[in-house]
Amino acid sequence: MRTRPPREEVSLSGEGEAHTASSEPQRVVLAFVNPASGGQRGEQVLDTLRNLVPSDWIFDLGQAGGPSTGIDHLRRSVQGQDPTSVAPLNVSVLICGGDGTFSWVASALSKSGLVGACDIRVIPVPLGSGNDMARALGWGIRYPGASGLELAVLAAMNPKESRLGELDVWKLTCHCASPLVDSEPSPSFRRAEYFCNYLSLGIDAKIELEFNEARWRNPERYSSQRGNIAAHTRLGASAMFLGPRVALYRLVDELIVDDKPVQIPAKVQSLIFLNIPSYAAGSQPWGKPEARTMSEFSNSLVNDGCLEVMALVGLHHFVATRVGIPAVRLAQGRKIRFRIKVDTDHDGKRRAIKSVPMQADGEPWPQGNAEFEISLAAVLGVVCGDRHSHKMKNHAKFHFP
């Protein structure tokens, strides 16, 4: 049986619903907007938010250079509370962007030390291409427009009227001199120090890396969600039929889950560590292990302190997960270690490999020799949208003690 970490006291109301048992003190809404995400609707979102939220609680991640300015503003507000107040400041955080933006802000919150000092609940507003977190939490798959954004703000102001839950946030620690390949820095690695959705390496990360490199060169060509998805599809088709095959078992020479070695099957092209059931714009690679088969695995939960570890044989296998065929399930665990050892020698029979593509929540980088550890970093409160349903395969499932 998988043990569960302790969680805050909750009371259940209706099927799968949870509400905090404590009274609701003052609640403020803090909004982060990434104008560069997906369809680049940031300016529209900022204009709408200014009519709904005080302007000093709205932060443009592009102009601010990241979430730290908003986090510092929140910290000053928490430290300036009435010292006689018993209840902490309640904060709802709107994260308007894609999965990378959600991870960016969630990691900053996790590292801020504020999670225990005040009651924080986050809401994703989908502005990216894949929007897996927003999808999993029932907030839709694309920007909902001004009316939908207004509903998200209302939910942020009154979260006890919505379905509440908790989300594990994971820390990725690299044991190497620096996350470099051929002495070139990898700034996206620093952004990927924490992740909420997934970490992966292999062919799927390679496609994401190629897409990001193309977008960095010509950002004006990638200004719509539909166009970005089409670009991913083209890159995937090219890799499926024309790209080289690299067996990960030669490059990941050690995988340890909860102190137990896990063998990586031959010929797999992708290794995935999954926290939420939705992956790569809505596929469900973990699936639902059948109880009647006495499977050693259990269903995935987003707040059980465990990650699901799985592999894909190739991109055709990824396509199959979209129609219900699961990935190769390898393990579930709390503490994970793996080592990458690239093949820099060319023996005349196989090509030299200088790096392995990796990605965390859609933020890719090329990785050379390194050892990694994955561990639970924090637990964030979340507010689910009205579309959330436990019956949907790619929607988040929660554990309530």
According to the model, what pLDDT value does residue 204 have?
85
pLDDT at residue number 183: 44
Q: What separation in angstroms does the CA of 311 have from each of 61, 204, 207, 272, 375?
A: 34, 11, 16, 6, 20
Per-position b or e across 105-140, b if 16+ CB within 10 A of its CB: bbbbbbbbebbebbbbbbbbbbbbbbbbbbbbbbbb
Q: Provide the sign of the torsion angle of the four alpha carbons 224, 226, 229, 234, taken in this order.
A: negative
Please list the helix, strand and coil fractions of the chain in percent, rounded to the nearest 5, in that order.
30, 25, 45
Task: Specify the amino acid at residue 383.
Answer: V
Please list, residue by residue across 340-366, b when 16 or more beta carbons sit within 10 angstroms of its beta carbon and e when fewer do: bbbeeeeeeeeeebebbbbbbbbbbbb
Q: What is the pLDDT along the chain (401 residues), one digit of tens a residue?
A: 444 334 333 322 333 444 433 445 568 999 999 988 756 678 889 999 999 999 999 999 999 889 999 999 999 888 776 555 545 589 999 999 999 999 999 999 999 999 888 899 999 999 988 899 999 999 999 999 999 999 999 999 999 889 999 999 999 998 775 444 444 444 444 444 799 999 999 888 888 777 766 666 776 665 666 666 665 566 555 665 555 566 787 889 899 999 999 999 988 989 999 999 999 888 899 988 765 555 789 999 999 999 999 999 877 787 788 778 899 999 999 999 999 988 655 545 555 677 888 999 988 888 888 899 999 999 999 999 999 998 888 899 998 76
pLDDT at 309: 97
